[in-house]
Amino acid sequence: MADPIRWARYRWQRLISTEGRECSSNNSSSKCYQSSRTTGKHRIVIPCLGHFKEEYEKVSKLYMNNKIRTTRYTLLNFLPRNLFEQFHRVANLYFLFLVVLNWVPVVEAFQKEITMLPLIGVLTIIAVKDGLEDYSRYKMDKQINNLVTKVYSRKEKKYIDECWKNINVGDFVRLSRNEIIPADMVLLYSSDLDGICYIETAGLDGETNLKQRQVVRGYSEQVSEIDPEEFSSRIECENPNNDLSHFRGFVQHSNMDRVGLSKENLLLRGCTVRNTEAVVGIVVYAGHETKAMLNNSAPHYKRSKLERKVNTDILWCVLLLLLMCLTGAIGHAIWLSRYSEIPFFNIPKPDGKSSHPVLAGFYMFWTMIILLQVLIPISLYVSIEIVKLGQIYLIQNDIDFYHEKTDSTIQCRALNIAEDLGQIQYIFSDKTGTLTENKMVFRRCSIAGQEYRHEENAKRLESYQEMDSDDEDSADCQCGSSICTSKYQGHNCRTVCEPLNRKSLNQLSGSYSAFKRQDEAGGIPHSRHMAFSSPIETDVVPDTKLLEKFSQISFHSYHQSEEASSKLSLETMYITDFFLALAICNTVVVSGPNQPHQKMRLSSLGRMPIKSLEEIRQMFQRFSVWRLSSSPLPSVKESSSESPNSFVRKLSIFRMKLASPTLDGAAQRVSEPHNTDSPENSQVPQELHPVNVAAGGELNSAVSSIELSPLPKLCYEAESPDEAALVHAARAYKCVLQSRTPDQVTVDFAGLGSLTFQLLHILPFDSLRKRMSVVVRHPVSNKVVVYTKGADSVMMDLLRTASKVHTNNSEIEEKIKERTQQHLDDYARKGLRTLCIAKKVMSDAEYAEWLNHHFLAETSIDSREDLLLESAMRLETELTLLGATGIEDRLQKGVPDTIQALRKAGIKIWMLTGDKRETAVNIAYACKLLEPEDKIFALKSRSRDACALVMSKILEEIQKNASVKKINSEKLGNVSASPSTQAQGFNAGLVIDGRNLEHVLHDSLQNIFLELTEKCRAVVCCQATPLQKSVLVKLVRSKLKAMTLAVGDGANDVSMIQVADTGVGIAGQEGMQAVMASDFAISQFRHLRKLLLVHGHWCYTRLTNMVLYYFYKNVAYVNLLFWYQFFCGFSGTSMTDYWILILFNLLFTSVPPIIYGVLDKDVSAEILMEFPQLYKMSQKSLAYLPSTFWITLLDAFYQSLVCFFVPYFTYCGSDIDIFSFGNPINTAALFIMLFHLLIECKSVTWIHTVVIIGSILFYFMFTLAFGATCKTHSLRSDFYWIMEKHMTDPVFYLVCLLTTCIALLPRYLIRVLQGTLFPSPVLRAKYLVRLASEQKKAIRRWKDECNVNDGVQLQPTSLPSSSAAGAVSDEESTDSVFPASKTPFQTCSRDGLVKNTSFLPDIQDESGSTSGLNSQEKREFIEVN
């Protein structure tokens, strides 16, 4: 067969047609169609046209229309539904219970309206908030539903404007450029000649790189737009689901032929059409059934650890409330039984009977619950939410989180777990893009067992200095080709043609700025930033040795290498195929530099200065003659023997290939051999320009008659940085990827000219296969070739064995495999990312056989992924190894320092990566996750039992080494107490790969695995799948009850981020999926240091102190009411007015603790960054221990006793009324609580002062106004003019002052003693920094005095004469500069805090702020802690 592809397709169609005819002969075609599908599992889409009218009406009723509604309420159900939702909260139910209880006459404690106020206020505020939010959603829904698009009308027989909400499944929709896709639809037509539609998916996954979607196979060849009236096919696909990465289905034509559908044929709702003039599709999912809407689920609510603890303590408060109410009930019953005969205390009922004391006590129990309701700090929840919002605001406005290069800052996507940042115990980090920059730099390669070190490129990278952010941003806007030209050209064009020397390498940093200025002066428009296009990624200096071999490749030599088997010819073939694989085995999109996302089409007509139609005709004839004589397509004779449809198909392919014949590349090199603007000339010496082409004289005559303009500059848009790095590496060797369409890939190869490969299949990368492949028809050999690249852990097992290789080549291939494996191991040890490159040549029969099975997989719906995986694995066997690549992914700035600081903070860090073991370990050493003195244990086993045995042995060895180290440390400690002479503890690291992770994650081995990891300082998991990452995080979180944080930057980290207690996404170069799934998003890993050590510590300590203060405040105030019950017969009365009682916590004392929770700062950010050990305080919850809670309650009881009994004994025996007695108590309680807050504040700002003074003034203003206007004529007492009288009484002021001092004196004394005799680590750190700063200032003053008095410039005596130039710096040690007797300060030793005599910081910035302490001080600080 001349064309096995079409033969296989023809046979497959005949097979399907035969089955369809057999089925229709028995029944009917419609019945056959129904029998072929599984009812209930699939969706049938039928066009809404006349000949499908009846069937469409039946099917369409089952599907939703495109109208969406994201609102929760309507006008009718808003009030009942909102109330129903609010009363799901326990706090609101508690308020409701109190309101209902107060309406019962026998237990009424307050006026009915007063108890309703808090509940009505809370419900109203929340209802208004929910209503406004829902109204904004309603307006957005209305706006979206009323968007207009073109929909085909079967009545008017044309496309008409229709609102989105009126679109139904089966409608034909026509979209234009930059139009948003209204529903999920299958692409049936594109104005692009290749049947491609470009869409932007930023609204779904955050990725800015454009995605290609293809017209359904069989519809891409149509010349005109599809006519809906002629569409007579049905679509069967899967039911609606939220899987954005998969789509299963097929199109079934009227003749029962099937064409498979995949995600490449599906346009998703919410995406935007780009760079395509018009597309037409048929809707398969509409409205809430679209994948975008199904992914709009409510965010997962995470409850912080502190919130769970607060709920527990509130239960204790409930028990305390019940105990107090029970005490009041029993006391009231005893009181009534003792005075039962006195009517004054036991008022009889209207019938003359008195209540039984037990029944009265039961009623009093519920009355006391109403009276003491404030004990349950319901307002605490509202305050916590407000404080968290304030903390999030401060985090988001921290300037240190701003990354100028990406113009991004931190995003706080979860508002309720900020305090969890201060309690992290485990960090699970991805490697690529998280610890590293995700900027892949091509470093080395191995081809045919020969390594090429690219030393010139290594020198360039060593001399390459990162530019300032402005220059870097400008560089990123340039395309790879232009940057390469600028880098190696500079001001001298001869740099392109001359070999790179040391001098040219040293000029790299200066040449870029000049080129940038030239571009700006020339008015070159800059495109927007594209991923993976920075200069360090795109610039590759070719290896001299490889370049020399590459220059010898020609059309003739490549033909000889295909036929001969000599070592030289094989090497030529290996080099050629290696670079071809780098260029085409990817999904890179080629676009223009000044028009990003604009597809490049190689058009000879567009590049040539044509002046007349006659020249066009002559040029077409020349191209036709050349193409028919040397084209890899079948000959005219072969074509004539085939069917007309096949011949038309070939003509369309011929038309596509005509734009890029071999002549193009050669002609340009002949006509413009020194064009420095051409991307091909940027890095290749001059001797590469002449090309030997098999076409001979015909080519020369064509070249002589045609003048070609230079090729346009190209930009590459890749989905991964690895692909971009390999394409740019191939480009450096003149193997330039010129264009890509769904059917072909064009490569401009030096020596071979422009090669157009017929693209048959792309088998994309997946985490199971760990490789990707492309199947092409080679234009030179006309054979089907499979190019594959992937991880060496799987690729080496797919190579063909020696028994199946030709005898002459078997030894060569074995040597190549052995040497390549050595090179791969060497690359991995150096921390490079490795990839194996291989190929496979298939015969037409083999390809046709595989194609039959692949079509079955493509057209299936059920288990489609499994079938496609099986098909891909069947193809990717018996490969021939071409070589390997080593790509460097550099560490991000500040990663080692961040990891060291986090480790000092007591956080264990695990690195989870998909890279191979050697690469992961090397990066772990580079980022100081592993230290040179650590003992590394690699877990290697082939079975579960062996894995358990190995872990047991490792545990024994760790325990043995730890005990030996401990004994040695104790011996050394007895000899000398100096920290420098003491032996360090034993540190172990664990390295485990994906295969062994399967064993240790089994239930039987989980416990021993966790025990082993707890004894290791660091864990490196390599070759781990995304699922294994999430299972590891879940295992540590559930089994060890540890607070976990997961950080990653890619889609493969999403599951891990969602499972962890706190998920952090890094806005890297691989889209925004990790960011969208995270709780916090940062731009650099180093920002994690301040986020945890500073803001995590602050958020936790602020919130815990505020929570404890709320418990103290409520308990103290409620106890005032409780103590009064002992003097009023437990009657449930209050010594203050009910309005003041309710508003005391609601208004007078509510704002200060909120400000305290938002702004309090126990220690500065500089100290927290300098001493990461302080993080352990929040990590271990030292600020909120159970003992702290109960001590706070005891202090509240004590202060309430003082606050009640000091006024009681003051006014004892007087004739003041009940409110005159309660007003001093209430006022003193206000002062006590506010000044208690001042004592607890670690940093008092003007805001604290204003709020506290404002609260006091507001209280007095309210009570004065209330006392002057509220005259109730109550039978008990009246608050009228009470405060006004007390304001003129000196005793009132004395009572308030004395009560406040006595109540706060114990807490104040404890804080003073705690700060002097038993300082906390925070106080120690603050003292160390303050002392160091004072000493440095004293040194400066003393030196200035010495210079003025003596006029002598001091020099260090211990330094050699060659280095003794200039005055001694402030950072020098005083012992080496000044005599001991002249030191202006004495040795400091304060309560055992500081014992070092040479107490000087080693670093100080210009502003005088201390940024470092010497090692001795830090060592002492760590030992104290």
Q: What is the pLDDT of residue 568?
A: 63
Is the CB of residue 1069 less than 8 Å from the CB of residue 721?
yes
Assigned token pair, 1028: 């294994």
Q: DSSP E strands: which ranges in 346-414?
A: 411-412
DSSP per-residue letters across 1182-1234: GGG-HHHHHHHHHHHHHHHHHHHHHHHHHSTT----HHHHHHHHHHHHHHHHH
Q: Which of 98, 117, 118, 93 is nearest to 108 (CA)?
A: 98
Q: Which SS3 state, helix, strand or coil, does residue 1328 take? A: helix
Q: Which of 366, 107, 122, 327 is nearest to 1142 (CA)?
A: 122
Tell me the whole-structure pTM to 2 decimals.
0.69
> How many Å apart are CA 299 and CA 802, to the nearest integer?
56
Q: What is the pLDDT of residue 1019?
A: 93
Helix/strand/coil percentages in the chain, nearest 5: 55, 15, 35
Alpha helices in 859-943 (DSSP H): 864-875, 895-904, 917-926
Q: Compute the C-alpha angle 799/804/808, nearest 5°.
A: 100
Q: What is the pLDDT of residue 534?
A: 65
Sign for the pseudo-dihedral over CA of 216, 221, 223, 227:
negative
> How many Å apart are CA 357 and CA 335, to the nearest integer?
8
Q: Which of 229, 231, 280 is nearest to 253 (CA)?
A: 231
Q: Which SS3 state, helix, strand or coil, does residue 881 take? A: strand
Q: What is the pLDDT of residue 1155?
A: 93
Assigned token pair, 282: 């048929």
Q: What is the pLDDT of residue 699?
A: 32
Question: Is 1370 in the active site?
Answer: no
Q: What is the pLDDT of residue 685?
A: 35
Q: What is the pLDDT of residue 37?
A: 35
* C-alpha dihedral, 584 to 585 to 588 to 591, nearest 10°: 0
In sequence order, what are the beta bridge partners of 261?
Answer: 249
Weakly modelled stretches of the chain, pLDDT under 70:
1-41, 50-51, 203, 205-209, 297-301, 340-354, 460-537, 555-568, 592-712, 802-809, 964-985, 1068-1071, 1270-1278, 1332-1336, 1338-1425
Q: What is the pLDDT of residue 720?
A: 76
Q: Which of 750, 743, 741 is nearest to 664 (CA)?
A: 750
Up-side HSE of residue 736: CA atoms within 13 Å toward CB?
28
Is the CB of residue 878 less than 8 Å from the CB of residue 788?
no
Is the CB of residue 1125 less than 8 Å from the CB of residue 1118?
no
Q: What is the pLDDT of residue 173?
A: 95
Q: What is the pLDDT of residue 1202?
A: 94
Residues 6+ apart with CB under 8 A from 1301: none
Q: What is the pLDDT of residue 967?
A: 62
Q: Which residue has the tokens 């030996």?
A: 964
Residues 6+ apart with CB under 8 A from 567: 812
Q: Compute the C-alpha angle 54/55/56, nearest 5°.
A: 90
Q: What is the pLDDT of residue 484?
A: 38
Up-side HSE of residue 1380: CA atoms within 13 Å toward CB?
4
Rg value, the chain, Cα: 40
Instruction: Tell me which of 313, 430, 577, 915 is the catalytic residue.
Output: 430
> How many Å apart are CA 1358 and CA 1154, to the nearest integer?
57
Q: Which SS3 state, helix, strand or coil, does residue 669 take? A: helix
CA 918 to chain centre: 26
Q: Letter for the amino acid at 12?
A: W
Q: Which of 611, 1319, 1410 is nearest to 1399 (CA)?
A: 1410
For 864-915, write each residue's pLDDT tens digit: 788 888 899 999 998 999 999 998 877 888 899 999 999 999 999 999 988 8
> How many Å apart are CA 561 and CA 580, to the nearest integer?
15
Q: Which of 939, 997, 1130 is nearest to 334 (CA)?
A: 1130
Q: What is the pLDDT of residue 1224?
A: 92
Is the CB of residue 835 less than 8 Å from the CB of residue 917?
no
> How many Å apart are CA 439 and CA 890, to the nearest integer?
7
Give 852's DSSP letter. Answer: H
Q: How far lies 184's CA from each of 56, 171, 1040, in Å?
A: 18, 11, 44
Q: Which SS3 state, helix, strand or coil, does residue 959 take? A: helix
